[in-house]
Structure 1
């Protein structure tokens, strides 16, 4: 049976969520029997142990914090991890035998076979420095979870390559099974320490002594019985949301969590990408929402952060943010960049420059000028977005025009009439209600400026319309 399930277990998630920023000396959580159920690394250093009575723990380390479980925060973090795992497998399930355990099916995933370390590194980065994780790989989800419990934090545990799964699973200690303390004590009193010891007993005797549910559990563990589980719901929207470790009121404090949110979304997007991103920051009594547009799909974290820096420094949020949400909008298929090396680099640099200008100045402030077939100077051009393809507009054969055209003509007094040969007559506009009849000519002002002036043939007045360089 080929290895196909990867289990991801957070052994102390409920406690560690309360101390993600490391400001507390330690945190532990008690169960319904008032015994230590979970603890973080700080509590472990003070000598706190799982199963210790709450009274003993308080007496041993009174300075440590005793917290209640936050089920909503625990679920939200598991949901984020599950959405990340969907980038590598078609099915992600919750292993309900343990509080905070997930498994992803990897069978037939060429991406996993080609780059197994990429997934492991993504999970480690997701967990960060404050969340412990256990990773296990096996042909069944239950076996993968038990392998994970045998391993060390942050390392992938699986059976030796030179041994079959049938041999490896029998060495799994029974103390790792999710049974109560009474049943574990019974197993030890009978000399049953591993799954292999269990297997040597008669099947009927095992069911009578310990109940048929454990017989079914071991069958599912070995893969000889089906283990149907409901898949973890896959989000249709690409959004990441999480509370900030500390209140953030400037760009430097927001940079790291924003990078983390982008990297999570990039892993979930897989072969898709986005050119529109929405950032939502929430404080105690305020909310800030901002959109970012890019010319090309954003796949680089550094460019993503540069664009947001330009955007947010121009439009600061002005309060202490406590929660972050990043959404990828209008996602599209993304197969990567193609083209010749030099051409590709040039186009990428041009696109990145446009994106930075847009982030700093606004989308509507960046445009390209394109000519239009019209004799009237003010209607002979129009603005288009930079991405719009350039059309081959057939322009009339005109005399030289000034580069600097005024928004509106300004009345002037001309001291001498130009020669007839110097005039350029422009008439038109009857079709759109802006009919003009003008005689244009060059005129050098007393200060030396070379002006483009016209005489309105209806009013006989002179107007300045532009300057030559």
Structure 2
């Protein structure tokens, strides 16, 4: 049977999700009997042990945080991990025998066979520094989970290449089985420490001693009996939503969760990217929604945070946010940039500069000027977006001033130059701004080269621009 299931075990997720940013000295969680059930690395380093009474843990390390389980946050984090796994496998399931265990089917995945490190790297990036995850690879979900329980953090535990699965699974320790503590102690008292030890007993004897449900468990573990499981629901849209560990009212507090949300979406998108992003912050009774648009797909977390910082400092929210949602809109296939090295870097820097200007000043404030086919000087240009294609410039040998005044200024009566220097411009009847003017150059007393026209209908003179 070919290897096809990758299991992810989060041994301390309930405690570690309270300290994903590493701001607390340590966190531990007690069970219904007031015994330490889970703890993060900070609690471990201060001597707290699993099974220790809550009173002992508080006396040993009073600076640690004792929290209650938050099932909604635990499910939310598992859901975000499952959506990332769906980028590599057709089915993701939760193994209800243990808390916080997922498995993804990899059979027939060509990308996994050719580049397995890509998936492992994505899992490590999702887990980060403060979330431990154990990995196991086996032909069945149960075997993969048990191998993962026996492995070290962030290391893939699988059967050795020179050993068959039938030989490998028999060495799995019984101490990781999802059994009550009384049954685990009973197995040890009988000298049963591995799956192979149990198999040496008669099948009927095992069923009478330990219960028929464990025979079904062994059969599903070996793959001798089908193990159908409900698939984890798939999100059709690319978004990440999770409650914040603490209320956030400024950019510094939002930076870490926004960075994590972007990294998770980037892992889900894989070979796709987006130029449109939507951020939603939810407070107690109000919400804040903002859009961000970039010229090129965003794959750099540093640039992503820079653009959002500019946008949010210009349009801040005025309440304490409790929930964050980041959505990637209009995701498209993207294979990266190709081209000359220097030209590619220059074009990328130009796009990033425009994106930062837009985030800081607003999209309507960033534009470039383009010529327009119109004889009237004040209507011969138009603002366009930086992405607009260049229009074909009309061929006109007559010079135009570099400085055109926003509105023509009346001047006193001037001597008109020779008729050969005059330029008559008439038009505008089609949009209600009809005009008839005679333009000519005039050197002012201070030496400035002015562009002046006489209104043929009123006979008045106006200054309209300056030549360099």
1:82–1:102 CA contact under 8 A, matched in 2: yes
- Deviation of the 1:460 alpha carbon: 1.0
- Once residues 270 and 346 of structure 1 are traced to their aligned partners in structure 2, the CA distance between those partners, rounded to angstroms, is 25
Tell me what 1:201 maps to.
Answer: 201
1:408 matched residue in structure 2? 407
Aligned residue number for residue 68 of structure 2? 68
Question: What is the alpha-carbon distance in structure 2 between the residues aligned to residue 337 and residue 376 of structure 1?
Answer: 42
Distance 1:319 1:445, change over 3 A: farther
Q: CA RMSD in A?
A: 2.6
Query: Is it true that 1:119 corresponds to 2:119 in the alignment?
Result: yes
**For residues 4 and 320 of structure 1, what CA distance do their matches in structure 2 show?**
45
Q: Which moved more, 1:64-73 or 1:165-174?
A: 64-73
How has the CA–CA distance of structure 1 residues 152 and 297 changed in structure 2, closer, same or farther, with 3 Å as cutoff? same
Q: Within 2, Cα distance between the matches of 1:77 and 1:208? A: 40
Measured in 1, the distance between the counterparts of 2:336 and 2:117 equals 21
Q: How much has 1:282 moved relative to structure 2? A: 4.9
Match of 1:465 in 2: 464
Moved more, 153-162 or 323-332: 323-332
Provide Cα deviations, 1:48-75, integer angstroms capped at 9, x if missing partner: 4333444555565566543321111111
Offset, 1:251: 4.4
Alignment partners' CA distance in 2, 1:32 and 1:77: 23
- Tell which deviates more after alignment, 228-237 or 116-125: 116-125
SS at match of 2:171: coil
**1:183-231 per-position Cα deviation (integer Å, ceiling 9, x unaligned):** 2233233332211112222333333332232112112211222222112
Alignment of 1:449 with 2:448, yes or no, is: yes
Single out whichever of 78-87 and 322-331 deviates more from structure 2.
322-331
For the 8 Å contact 2:13–2:74, the answer to whether it is kept is yes
In 1, distance between residues paired with 2:210 and 2:374? 92
Q: For residues 257-290 of structure 1, give each alpha carbon's deviation from its aligned partner in whole angstroms, at most 9, with x where no partner exists.
A: 4333222111111221111112334566765433
SS at match of 2:226: coil
CA deviations 1:60-112 (Å, max 9, x no partner) are 55665433211111111111221222222222211111111111222233333
Q: Deviation of residue 147 (structure 1)?
A: 0.7
Q: Which moved more, 1:238-247 or 1:79-88?
A: 238-247
CA distance in structure 2 between the aligned counterparts of 1:173 and 1:376, rounded to whole angstroms = 87
> Alpha carbons of 1:445 and 1:250: their partners in 2 closer, same or farther (altered >3 Å)?
farther
Equivalent-residue separation in structure 1 for 2:256 and 2:58 (angstroms): 36
> Paired residue for 2:100?
100
1-structure distance, mates of 2:336, 2:135: 31
How many residues of Structure 1 are paired with residues of Structure 2 in the alignment? 468
Which residue does 1:297 correspond to in 2?
297
Instruction: Give 1:438's aligned residue.
Output: 437
The answer to whether the 8 A contact 1:98-1:178 is kept is: yes
Q: Secondary structure at the match of 1:347?
A: helix
Distance 1:309 1:47 in 2: 40
Query: Does structure 2 retain, via aligned residues, the 8 Å contact 1:21–1:246?
Result: no
**Residue 29 of structure 1: SS of its match in structure 2?**
strand
Q: Give TM-score scaled by structure 1 length.
A: 0.91
Matches of 2:209 and 2:282, distance apart in 1: 56
Moved more, 370-379 or 339-348: 339-348
**For the residues of structure 2 that align with 1:26 and 1:308, how far apart are their CA atoms?**
31
Q: Do the aligned partners of residues 275 and 61 (structure 1) sit closer, same or farther apart at CA in structure 2, a change above 3 Å counting?
A: closer
Q: Which string of whole-angstrom CA distances, capped at 9 and with x for unpartnered residues, describes residues 122-171 of structure 1?
A: 32332233222212122221111111111122222112121111111000
* Structure 1 residue aligned with 2:232: 232
Aligned to 1:131: 131
402-411 vs 162-171, which moves further: 402-411
Shift of 1:398: 4.9
The runs of 5 or more residues in structure 1 that have no matched partner are: none
Does residue 212 (structure 1) correspond to residue 217 (structure 2)? The answer is: no
Determine the structure 2 residue equivalent to 1:385. 385
Q: Which stretch has the larger CA shift, 453-462 or 277-286?
A: 277-286
Counterpart secondary structure, 1:392: coil
Tell me the distance in 2 between the aligned counterparts of 1:13 and 1:21: 14
User: Are 2:413 and 2:460, in contact at CA under 8 Å, matched by a contact in 1?
Assistant: no
